[in-house]
């Protein structure tokens, strides 16, 4: 399954990469030197971890979202 990511500018001037995979919402955000990814389902955070690279963060978020069904 192909996930289409898009970039959204947030108030305060930072950007967040977002995607949807089924009923899960995925986000990737750079904070200092780390890329933090988040998976939300039903309005709740279900997984969140830091990665060293943006591509790695996107892949990990997608993998967790797929495991959640």
pLDDT tens per residue across span 14-60? 899 999 998 999 999 999 889 999 999 999 999 999 999 999 999 99
List the chain domain ranges: 6-67
| Residues facing residue 27 across a β-bridge | 18, 38
Predicted TM-score of the model (pTM): 0.88
Residue 3 token pair: 């996930």
Q: How far apart are the first and last CA of the chain?
A: 12
The total number of residues shown for the chain amounts to: 69
d(CA 11, CA 18): 15
The residue ranges of DSSP E strands in 1-69, in sequence order, are: 6-9, 15-21, 24-31, 34-41, 44-51
């Amino acid at each position: 399954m192909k996930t289409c990511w898009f970039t959204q500018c947030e108030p305060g001037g930072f950007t967040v990469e977002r995607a949807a995979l089924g009923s899960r919402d995925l986000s990737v955000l750079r904070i200092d030197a780390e890329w933090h990814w988040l998976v939300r389902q039903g309005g709740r955070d279900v997984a969140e971890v830091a990665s060293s690279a943006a591509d790695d963060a996107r892949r990990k978020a997608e993998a967790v979202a797929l495991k959640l069904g």
